[in-house]
Amino acid sequence: MKTGRFIGVGLGPGDPDLMTVRAARLIGQAKVIAYPSLPGTESFAHQIAAPYISDNTHEIVLEIPMTTARGPAQAAYDFGAARIAEALDLGEDVVMLCEGDPFFYGSFMYLHARLAEHYSIDVVPGVTSVSAAAARAQLPLVARNEAFSVIPAPLPDDTIRKRMEASDSFAILKVGRHLGRIRALLVSLGLADRAHYVERATLENERILPLPEAPDPAPYFSLILVTKGADPWLKTQS
């Protein structure tokens, strides 16, 4: 029997209207979808995709524990990959719902690593939370030959500071309980007044705040955007 395709579909930042035309169509036509979920909570990926999911679609829920210990998450991905492989072996395509973009900090990557050797895989890129936050905050990110960085907040201060210094613009992701530390770093570099805090971009309870007003700790789905200075080309000569 011909095995099915495993299709990682980027859902974009949260507003269902911001997934791609292809993503919406693939989800609507899917007989089998898979998605990650924290045990005991509603899946954010499923929430975004819900308006497009057909009745009678079979759902494979991958319960992934939120932990920094490697064993439990590894085991969950192994188990999830095996369940997806079962459906693929039956000849069914499996559409995996991925928040944002599948290859940009997504759990899809862990399943891709486990299934790519034996199955055909497609990846549909999505709008990242970084692009969405910039759009909502109306903050041009990079122009011409400016360099951009994406920096996870849990990294050590020294690493973060060097990357902040080396970039024209940057996004700090996974802010959460690191907000105070990141704020202190930005203040020490004289960048605090160039920083914008964006929480749940494009969702109903979105908040966009100047850095001093940001909540500490911040929720998980929050990021900080910093643009060091407008490229002079952005301005008119007149």
Binding to its own copies (CB under 8 A): which residues in 67-106? Answer: 70-71, 73-75, 77-78, 81, 101-105
For helices 108-115 and 70-89, the axis angle rounded to 10 degrees is 60
Three-class SS of residue 41?
coil
Interaction of residue 19 with its own copies, rule CB under 8 A: yes
125 forms part of the interface with its own copies (CB under 8 A): yes
Each residue of 189-223: b (16+ CB within 10 Å) or e? eebbebbbbbbbbbbeebbbeebeebeeebeebbb
| Separation of alpha carbons 51 and 49, rounded Å | 6
Is residue 218 near its own copies by the rule CB under 8 A?
no
Judged by beta carbon, residue 39 or residue 51, the one nearer its own copies is 51
- Tell the smallest beta-carbon distance from residue 171 to its own copies (Å): 9
3-state secondary structure of 191: coil
Residues numbered 151 to 170 that lie near its own copies (CB under 8 A) are 151-152, 154-155, 159, 162-163, 166-167
Within 25-54, the residues that bind its own copies by CB under 8 A are 25
What is the rounded CA–CA span in Å between residue 108 and residue 27? Answer: 16
Q: Does 120 bind its own copies (CB under 8 A)?
A: no
- Give the residue with the Cβ less far from its own copies, 3 or 120: 120
Single-letter amino acid code for the residue at 66: M
Residue 64 binding its own copies, by CB under 8 A: no
Q: To the nearest whole angstrom, how small is the minimum distance from the Cβ of residue 228 to its own copies?
A: 14
Q: Is 148 in the site for its own copies (CB under 8 A)?
A: yes
**Given the rule CB under 8 A, which of 8-16, 31-39, 41-49, 192-200 is the region that contacts its own copies?**
8-16
Distance CA 72, CA 75 (A): 5
For residue 119, state whether it binds its own copies (rule: CB under 8 A): no
Contact region with its own copies (CB under 8 A), list: 28-36, 39-47, 88-96, 148-156: 148-156
Among 6, 35, 44, 110, which residue sits at the site for its own copies (rule: CB under 8 A)?
110
**Contact assessment for residue 217 and residue 154, using Cβ atoms and an 8 Å cutoff:** no
In angstroms, rounded to a whole number, what is the distance separating the alpha carbons of residues 217 and 149? 23
70 Cβ contact partners less than 8 Å away, ≥ 6 residues apart:
none
Instruction: Map residues 176-215 to x or -, x wherever contact with its own copies holds by CB under 8 A.
Output: ----------------------------------------
Closest CA to 12 of 25, 1, 23: 23
